[in-house]
Amino acid sequence: MAKGFPIKRQPGFATIAMICFFLLYLPIVTLVVYAFNANSSMAVWGGFSLRWFYAAWNNEQVIEASLRSLRIASVAAVIATICATMAALATTRTRPYRGLTAKYAFINQPLMVPEIVTAVALLIFFSRIKVATGYSGLGYLILAHTAFCIPFAYLPIRARLENMDLTLETAAADLYATPWKTFRRVTLPLLWPGILAGFMLAFVISLDDVVITEFVKSGGQDTLPTYMLGQLRRIVTPEMNAISTVFLAISVVIVTLFFLVSRRRT
């Protein structure tokens, strides 16, 4: 065979891939560009302006919803990451024991059930509890978000643990370290990138959630996504683009960090 014959090439594949990437980014780029449009009509370009960012910044509902989103996401992601770390420690680096497969299935359960079904189930369940206890705070949203964030936090932590062997821990134990000390000084530092990746994943997932939040929230508990969903029913202004752009920027930053953290090898 002639040297340099490109065996991996398939005709047209690169073209289709380029079209895909173009189409994937065209709507997003358009959205971002029009966030800087001075004109209030979305069809006409009226020059560069930051007025819609100012408008969003001065919109009390937007700020309130954003802060609520951040509050829910941070609490839910922290709890979910702690639980997921413990669960990952309990389900890796062991001989199979009874109930291990069941545990896997259970932890991944939120990934398998359609979101709308979970949303409906939580709506029914929480409405009962609301009537029974009279409590209608953010707790329900935080609880719901924590539960569906656990499998997302669990994935990278477990992957990281599976690549760590027990040699160092055994060595620490041989040197009379207590189990807790071994965990703090050996396991935790090694596991840290996985935990960080898990946390960021959980954070983004919670920040992005629309469906479950839409069903679980009580009146006046809009998060940024549910606020935007409500707005999309009306005539939208470029303010929506400005909010989306900021949201997008946050996601991009977190994803980039996630990539950097999870690519780092020991």
Binding to another protein in span 163-192, by CB under 8 A: none
Applying CB under 8 A, the span of 55-63, 138-146, 169-177, 184-192 interacting with another protein comes to 138-146
Question: What is the enclosing helix (H) or strand (E) of 118?
Answer: helix 115-133
Q: Which one, of 94, 117, 140, 106, lies nearest residue 211 by Cα?
A: 117
Q: Which is nearer to another protein, 32 or 190 (CB)?
A: 32
Binding of residue 38 to another protein (CB under 8 A): no
For the CB of residue 121, give the shortest distance to another protein in the complex, in Å.
4
Nearer to another protein, 70 or 82 (CB): 82
Name residues contacting another protein, limited to 98-117 (CB under 8 A).
98-99, 103, 106-107, 109-110, 112-117
159 binds another protein, rule: CB under 8 A: no
In contact, 209 and 251? CB cutoff 8 Å: no
Region 191-250 residues binding another protein, contact defined as CB under 8 A: 204, 207-208, 210-211, 215, 225, 228-229, 232, 236, 240-241, 244, 247-248
Q: How far is the CB of 113 from another protein (least distance, A)?
A: 6
Backbone φ, ψ for residue 37 (5° rounding): -80, 130
For the bound state, the minimum distance from the C-beta of residue 207 to another protein, rounded and expressed in Å, comes to 8
Kindly state the smallest distance separating residue 42's Cβ from another protein, in Å: 7
Instruction: Kindly state the smallest distance separating residue 31's Cβ from another protein, in Å.
Output: 4
Q: Give phi and psi for 48, each to the nearest 5.
A: -75, 140
Return the structure tokens found at 57: 């910044």
| DSSP helix/strand/coil, 37 | strand
Which of 63, 124, 166, 171 contacts another protein by CB under 8 A? 124
Q: Using the Cα atoms of residue 233, residue 234, residue 238 and residue 243 in order, give the sign of their dihedral.
A: negative
Q: Which residue in the set 42, 55, 138, 177 belongs to the binding site for another protein (CB under 8 A)?
A: 42
For another protein, the closer CB: 147 or 261? 147
Nearest partner of 33 among 23, 45, 20, 19, judged by Cα: 45
Q: Which of residues 53-82 bind another protein (CB under 8 A)?
A: 79-80, 82
Only one of the segments 50-58, 60-68, 85-93, 162-170 lies at the binding site for another protein (rule: CB under 8 A); that segment is 85-93
| Beta carbon of residue 218, minimum distance to another protein (angstroms, whole number) | 14
Tokens representing 179 are 């189990």
What does 151-202 look like in DSSP terms, one character per residue? HHHHHHHHHHHHTS-SHHHHHHHHTT--HHHHIIIIIHHHHHHHHHHHHHHH
Tell me if 123 contacts another protein by CB under 8 A: yes
> Nearest to residue 216, comparing CAs of 111, 163, 146, 167?
146
- H or E stretch at 255: helix 238-263
